[in-house]
Amino acid sequence: MMPAKLSLTIALILASAAAAAQSPVKGDAVRGTKIFTTFGCYQCHGYQGQGSNAGSTLAPNPVAYAAFAYQLRQPRARMPAYSLKILSDQDAADLYAYLLTIPKARAVADIPLLAKAQKPEK
């Protein structure tokens, strides 16, 4: 059994990690979808945020909001910077809300046509 103090510490760490992943501004995923396509994010990151050779993977399970917002404002590599004049904090929160809605891809076994192709014929 785990000592109570250690359990409490782990619980606090997990709670702060969950809180850090959330945007300080409430985002609108529907509006975020429109921003994702209007600003051309899909061109490098794919329509589902899956990434490509031109842009990193954004979803599912995006990075914490603070890291996401920092990357928008002060990007690494080839990504253009999106200043507040171009993309507001609300727009960034909406984009993030959209990324949070993107589900994980289904397993091959859960897609009947692919699962059938995986089974050897008798």
Q: Are 35 and 91 in contact (CB under 8 A)?
A: yes
More confident residue, 110 or 7: 110
> Average pLDDT in the 100-114 region?
89
CA end-to-end span of the chain: 51
Q: Are 44 and 57 in contact (CB under 8 A)?
A: no
Report DSSP letters for 50-73, one per residue.
---SSS----SSPPPHHHHHHHHH
pLDDT tier at 116, thresholds 50, 70, 90: confident
Q: Are 73 and 81 in contact (CB under 8 A)?
A: yes
Per-residue DSSP letter, 120:
P
Domain ranges of the chain: 23-105
Q: What is the pTM of this model?
A: 0.72
**What does the pLDDT read at residue 20?**
46
In the CATH scheme, what is the code of domain 23-105? 1.10.760.10
**pLDDT tens profile 45-99:** 999 999 999 999 999 999 999 999 999 999 988 899 999 999 999 999 999 999 9
